[in-house]
Amino acid sequence: MTEGNQDPGRAGAAQATRDGSEDAPRHGGARAVAAARAHDVATMFTLSGGHVFPLYDGAVKADPPMRLVDVRHEQTAVFAAEATARLTRRPGLAVLTAGPGVTNGISAITTAHFNGSAVVVLAGRAPDYRWGSGSLQEIDHPLLLAPVTKRAWTEHRADQVAAAVSEAFSIAAAAHRGPVFVDFSLEALFGEAADAGPAGPVPPAAPAPDPADVDAIAGLLAGAGRPVLVLGSDVWLGAAETAARAAAEELSLPVITNGQARGVLPAGHDLLVTRARAVAFREADLVVVVGTPLDFRLGYGEFGGQDGAPPAQVVHVADAPDQIASHRPLAASAAGDLVAFFTALAGAVPRRTGPRGADGAAGSPGAGRPGAAWRKSWLPRLQAARAEAMAADGALLASGADPVHPLRIYGELARLLDEDAVVIGDGGDFVSYAGKYLEPRRPGGWLDPGPYGCLGTGLGYAIAARIARPSAQVVLLLGDGAAGFSLMDADTLVRHRLPVVMICGNNGAWGLEKHPMQALYGYDVAADLQPRCRYDEVVQALGGAGEIVTRPDGIAPALRRAFASGVPYLVNVITDPAIAYPRSTTGI
Ligand SMILES: Cc1ncc(C[n+]2csc(CCOP(=O)(O)OP(=O)(O)O)c2C)c(N)n1
Ligand SMILES: [Mg+2]
């Protein structure tokens, strides 16, 4: 086990304080760790390299030591930091060594950029005194990182390290959140400073949206006949889940959720019509999208307009003005704190519809009741479409087909999941099925890769989830292709004693690419993987456990063994390679 840094006996003489403000000379690494801790960071995810040794020394000798989780690929370290931010809503920290350590982390940093995740990446950097002479791994990282971070810069002075780290965390955590990168020249990190330098600023609270904007949205809702409210990840990340649910309930708004907002309305809630998405988006006259971009996942914000009907009016609400869509006309928009938005909206709509009455009928004294009009026919229409979709699923979720239909796995898994389970998806078709058919009962427990769609998030997300939610079930759904990117980090689960249930939907193919290529060209290449590859034995070889399942009735008992095992466990389910997820969009 490599958890020796947890041993208080190893804490040395140079103790870090929470604010790093005492005056004894300490190296930049100790200053950085103290500053990170002052921003609520509990864990450093990393992969070793000499350029960052002082950050480890700082972690080990802090009092108490900072938990250090060493992984097998830098992208896993950054994905773990990203999942920490997404699950705990406090910033995540990854430490990468110079050069290839940083470049290996870039896909994960970009994922954090697309997901609006508050991640700070601290990195080593070749020494200043030799800069330009070609020392090992000398490269100017911030130039590479600038396009995918909120800010990327180099710190050259030991006495500025604490301030730089503190500033990085403040920038990352301020709405709209995102990754921040700082690299430290060897002089800054190994050099000693007597002074911690100026303290970094506290992240500013997002301002409330302009009341006039909220009022305009309330006016649109008051005049709508078929409105839909779409909730996305920033509703969760902005801690607005309670306010969002209260507003939806107050206004009787049909709700569709995506990303980390899944679960804001729990599975089975009257107003949750995610399963009737197609009907809702086709027939709505007003779509209010909050906390998620109008990207390919939402048809780029084009709703309705079929068969000669006018397109729906679209409202976009985000936590910061630069997140408001500019690629399509909007009927209204608002930017700012999302709790304040939902609270203001719930109050503003009744004001626009008149006094609240008892029966809600138009033209009666109850006409002012929020949602009066759409409660009568629009909501029931969506609820009926939802019921129809769910009834149609039943047969496949219970499918006895051999080879296994992937949906049967979710039929079995849904029965075993606790309310607070964390479910992570890393893969193609296999994970698309999960996104559609596993409806969370709480927000903040679902992690998909987000709009950047990067395969390989799996083990990093799982490591972080296990640490962030120590008593919850953590389930990682892996396509067999996706598994190849990060499965070596099952070793990290084993070394750090982090039990996770991994379920591999093994169709022996890059399914999400194979089927579309077949459809386009009538043949496919570069899309096959080894059939029945024993990914379960990979995890066993790394010190975990696992088993292969080839028949539908073997799934439930295997999952039960996995949950009971208390170790990293991979259930390798061989699924039917002929089955393609029925996809209506390619995202292009
Ligand atoms: C890093 C990265 N490389 C390639 C892709 C393109 N891609 C998207 S889905 C997919 C296939 C995934 O296969 P698998 O994980 O086995 O899931 P399946 O579709 O077979 O269920 C590929 C290659 C990607 N999204 N990310
Ligand atoms: Mg596959």
Give residue ranges with CB within 6 A of ligand 1: 427-430, 453-456, 479-482, 505, 507, 509-513
114, 179 contact by CB (below 8 A) = no
Ligand 2: centre distance to CA 577 (Å): 8
pLDDT of residue 413: 98
Nearest to residue 572, comparing CAs of 553, 548, 588, 550? Answer: 548
pLDDT of residue 302: 96
Atom of ligand 1 nearest to the CA of 428: 19
Ligand 2: centre distance to CA 144 (Å): 32
Atom of ligand 1 nearest to the CA of 478: 15
pLDDT of residue 355: 53
Ligand 1 pocket test target in 104, 513, 585 with most atoms within 8 Å of CB = 513
What is the pLDDT averaged over residues 254-283? 96
Q: How far is CA 25 from CA 29, 52, 61, 188, 326, in A?
A: 12, 19, 14, 13, 51
pLDDT confidence band for 584 (50 / 70 / 90): confident
Ligand 2: centre distance to CA 527 (Å): 9
Atom of ligand 1 nearest to the CA of 480: 16
Q: How far is CA 470 from CA 165, 360, 368, 457, 500, in A?
A: 28, 47, 47, 20, 11
Higher pLDDT: 8 or 288? It is: 288
The alpha-carbon radius of gyration of the chain (Å, integer) is 25
Closest protein CA for atom 3 of ligand 1: 455
Angle between helices 28-38 and 161-173 (to 10 degrees): 30
Ligand 1 pocket test target in 410, 432, 455 with most atoms within 8 Å of CB = 455
Ligand 2: centre distance to CA 456 (Å): 13
Nearest to residue 551, comparing CAs of 528, 571, 578? Answer: 571
Ligand 1: centre distance to CA 482 (Å): 6
Tracing tokens 């679902």 back to the chain, one arrives at 446
Question: Could you report the per-residue pLDDT of 229-253, keeping only the tens digit for each?
Answer: 999 999 999 999 999 999 999 999 9
Atom of ligand 1 nearest to the CA of 431: 21
pLDDT of residue 233: 97
264, 236 contact by CB (below 8 A) = yes
Higher pLDDT: 15 or 48? It is: 48
Written as one letter, the residue type at 345 is: L
CA quadruple 339, 344, 349, 354: dihedral, nearest 10: 150
pLDDT of residue 369: 60
How many Cβ atoms from other residues are within 10 Å of residue 391's Cβ?
Answer: 9
Ligand 2: centre distance to CA 396 (Å): 19
Asked if the model's pLDDT at residue 433 lies above 50, the reply is: yes
Closest protein CA for atom 13 of ligand 1: 510
Question: Could you report the per-residue pLDDT of 134-145, keeping only the tens digit for each?
Answer: 999 999 999 999
Q: Assign residue 116 a region (left: φ > 0; alpha: ψ between -120 and 50; beta: otherwise).
A: left
* Cβ-Cβ contacts under 8 Å for 375 (sequence gap 6 or more): 252, 360
Closest protein CA for atom 23 of ligand 1: 510
Q: What is the mean pLDDT of the chain?
A: 92
pLDDT of residue 419: 96
- What percent of the chain has pLDDT above 90? 85
Asked if the model's pLDDT at residue 114 lies above 60, the reply is: yes
Ligand 1: centre distance to CA 276 (Å): 26
Atom of ligand 1 nearest to the CA of 505: 21
Question: Could you report the per-residue pLDDT of 320-371, keeping only the tens digit for each?
Answer: 999 999 999 999 999 999 999 999 999 998 888 765 443 444 444 444 566 6
What is the pLDDT averaged over residues 564-578? 98
CA distance 205 to 238: 10
**Ligand (nearest to CA of 111):** 1
pLDDT of residue 354: 65
Nearest to residue 311, comparing CAs of 286, 335, 345? Answer: 286
Q: What DSSP letter does each residue of 196-259 carry, written as one string?
A: --SPPPPPPPPPPPPHHHHHHHHHHHHH-SSEEEEE-HHHHHTT-HHHHHHHHHHHT--EEE-G
Question: Could you report the per-residue pLDDT of 506-523, keeping only the tens digit for each?
Answer: 999 999 999 999 999 999
**Ligand (nearest to CA of 581):** 1
Ligand 2: centre distance to CA 79 (Å): 21
Q: How far is CA 528 from CA 246, 427, 480, 514, in A?
A: 48, 15, 11, 8
Tracing tokens 């170790």 back to the chain, one arrives at 567
Ligand 1: centre distance to CA 68 (Å): 30
Length of the chain counted residue by residue = 588
Asked if the model's pLDDT at residue 119 lies above 90, the reply is: yes
Ligand 1 pocket test target in 409, 429, 532 with most atoms within 8 Å of CB = 429
Higher pLDDT: 424 or 203? It is: 424
Listed in sequence order, the DSSP H helices in 70-210 are 74-88, 100-104, 106-115, 141-145, 161-173, 186-190
**Ligand (nearest to CA of 506):** 2
**Ligand (nearest to CA of 527):** 1
Ligand 1: centre distance to CA 512 (Å): 6
**Ligand (nearest to CA of 431):** 1
Does the pTM exceed 0.85? Answer: yes
